[in-house]
Amino acid sequence: MNRHSLLLTSYSVLCIFPHMKYEIDMGCHSVYCIQFHLVFCVKYRRKVLTDPISERLKSLVVNIASNFGIRIIEQETDKDHIHILFASKPSVTLSKFINSLKSVTSRMIRKEFPEVKKELWGKAFWSPSYFLASVGQVTLSDVKKYVENQGKQL
């Protein structure tokens, strides 16, 4: 698929969904809009994410995400957890991305900020669990209404 065809496809998607305001991404053979909200917590909910650690963590997140072809839309920390809003390609295996994100940031933060070892023992920095939700640029009710009205004159 050449660039002209892809732009035509993007235009077609926008024409198919005229009432839905998507900010789309493009691949070689696809047009997509895939976004997620990710949250993970420091082990034992220890409040170790000071300003310097938080800034370094956000920098690491951006670097790791770029290696996966993921775009960070927004991210912010509290003292014991991080929220990350990101856009992904359809080909990304999210579990591999999240595992890499947690393991690399854990290793680097523990190495660069040895003071966190006073609050956290062992090799874990992050809790083993995480929260991941898909997010959209239109509401679920808008999409549902669009699907329900397929083939009907509006």
Whether the per-residue pLDDT at 28 is higher than 50: the answer is yes
pLDDT of residue 76: 95
Q: Could you tell me the pLDDT band of residue 18, with boundaries at 50, 70 and 90?
A: low
**Assigned token pair, 114:** 């040895």
Distance CA 101, CA 92 (A): 13
Which alpha helices (DSSP H) does the chain contain, by range?
A: 3-16, 51-67, 94-112, 140-148
Does 140 or 2 have the greater pLDDT score? 140
Mind listing the domains of the chain with CATH numbers?
A: 1-32 (no CATH), 34-137 (3.30.70.1290)
Q: Is residue 4 very low, low, confident or very high in pLDDT (cuts 50, 70, 90)?
A: very low
The mean predicted confidence, pLDDT, of the chain is: 85
pLDDT tens-digit readout, 94-110: 999 999 999 999 999 99
CA atoms within 13 A on the CB side of 73: 16
In sequence order, the 6+-apart residues with CB closer than 8 A to the CB of 125 are 42, 43, 105, 106, 109, 110, 116
pLDDT of residue 113: 97
Q: How confident is the model at residue 130, as a pLDDT?
A: 97
pLDDT digits (tens, 9 = 90+) for 32-80: 889 999 999 999 999 999 999 999 999 999 999 999 999 999 999 999 9
Q: Give yes or no for a contact between 85 and 37, defined as CB atoms under 8 angstroms apart.
A: yes
